[in-house]
Amino acid sequence: MTISIAHLGPPGTYAEQAAMMYSNWLTQFTEEKVFLCPYSTIAQTLHAVSQGQSSLGVIPVENSIEGVVTVTLDTLWQLDNLRIQLALVMPITHTLISCAGNLQEIKTVYSHPQALAQCQKWLESFVPKAQLISSNSTTEALELLKSDTTAAAISSQRAAQLRKLPILNTGINDYRENFTRFWVVSQNHQPNAHRTLKKSLSYTSLAFSVPANIPGALVKPLQVFANLGINLSRIQSRPTKRSLGEYLFFIDLEADSTSAEMDSALAELRNYTEVMKLFGSYDVMPINNF
């Protein structure tokens, strides 16, 4: 048997690097063959796991500089059969790749919107006249560089090395402490094989909508966790896409969904929510970039 891991491609993306390091870790605990499956978008990656085309998926969910990856949250809400198995935290070092002779020759810079935003101050300082163009991934536009010496892309050093492309500058992210959190997801019928990490703290992620936008609509659900002494590590609102002013709320909790406190919290939470989705409990594993 084999284990396939879906991730955002093409080769050289940070998602692929996270998937590779996770794969290396996973092979220590299984005799099955593990291989990677690149997809063009984050949404396609999640759908591939939901439809059974891949066993697992590694998808970015949050960056320490630019915050959440909204397409990940939106797609996860739309799909009913995915569960988070593990969180991976990886340091991110951005590199400017181009066949241009110098920075002054660069007219366009391509990359994923998150990468462009994470390097915004550097771009304004060193290539202020360059047009910034968003792409589906940090590696999608790299094939254009050899034919356009006025173009550049923000990606990883590994992506440049894979394609034998020149590196003009590295470490161009605006903040040195730049980390991205990835989720490892699977279909909900699969057992969570990662709970053997024995970390001191587990997390639970869930999302819910409220019946109506009225005073106290959000306070009451949050008060449930406060009353039981459960700490929230993150809360993020996203539009329901039904009506202006209606929101979904995504929450990360410092608790295991199997604990007695969380069991009570989830039961009470249903009294104050319209739709609630539990995405799973998981541990966090730091990984090193390369």
Give yes or no: residues 165 and 182 share one domain.
no
Same domain, 135 and 236: no
Identify whether residues 183 and 86 lie together within a single domain: yes
Residues 119 and 235 in one domain: no
Do 88 and 166 lie in a common domain? no
Is 269 among the domain residues? yes
Assign residue 24 the CATH number of its domain: 3.40.190.10
Same domain (yes/no): 182, 88: yes
The pLDDT assigned to 212 comes to 76
Using one digit for the tens of pLDDT, what is the confidence trace for 157-199? Answer: 999 999 999 999 999 999 989 999 999 999 975 555 555 554 5
On whether both 146 and 267 belong to a single domain, the answer is: no
Residues 228 and 245 both lie in one domain: yes
Specify the number of domains making up the chain: 3
Give a yes or no: residue 288 inside a domain. no
pLDDT at 190: 54
pLDDT at residue 68, as a whole number:
93
Do 46 and 114 have their domain in common? no
Residue 207 lies in a domain: yes
Gap between the Cα atoms of 271 and 128, Å rounded: 52
Mean model confidence pLDDT for the chain: 91
Domain limits for position 217: 203-282
| Residue 157 counted as domain residue | yes
The answer to whether residue 209 is domain-embedded is yes
Task: Specify burial of residue 154 (Cβ count, 10 A radius: 0-12, 13-18, 19+).
Answer: buried
Nearest to 159 by CA among 1, 8, 5: 8
How far apart are the C-alpha atoms of 56 and 100, rounded to whole Å?
39
pLDDT at site 194? 56
In a domain, 28, yes or no: yes
Angstrom CA distances, 38 to 12, 254, 289, stand at 10, 32, 18
Identify the DSSP state of 32: S
| Residues 58, 183 share a domain | yes
DSSP state of 197: G
Least confident span in 40-54, 102-116, 246-260: 246-260
Residues 6+ apart with CB under 8 A from 226: none
Structure pTM? 0.89
For residue 278, give the 3-state DSSP assignment.
strand
Q: Any idea what the CATH number is for the domain that residue 243 is in?
A: 3.30.70.260
pLDDT per residue over 265-290, tens digit each? 999 999 999 999 999 999 999 887 55
pLDDT of residue 78: 95
**Tens digit of pLDDT for each residue in 139-161?**
988 989 999 999 999 999 999 99
In a domain, 287, yes or no: no
Query: Quick one: pLDDT at residue 189?
Result: 57
User: Environment class of residue 122 by beta-carbon count within 10 Å: exposed (0-12), middle (13-18) or buried (19+)?
Assistant: middle
CB 266, CB 257: distance < 8 Å: yes
Contacts of 16 (CB under 8 A, 6+ apart): 7, 8, 9, 36, 38
Indicate whether 88 and 49 sit together in one domain. yes
In a domain, 229, yes or no: yes
Q: What is the pLDDT of residues 41-53, one digit of tens each?
A: 999 999 999 999 9
HSE value, Cβ hemisphere, 13 Å, CA-based, for 160: 20
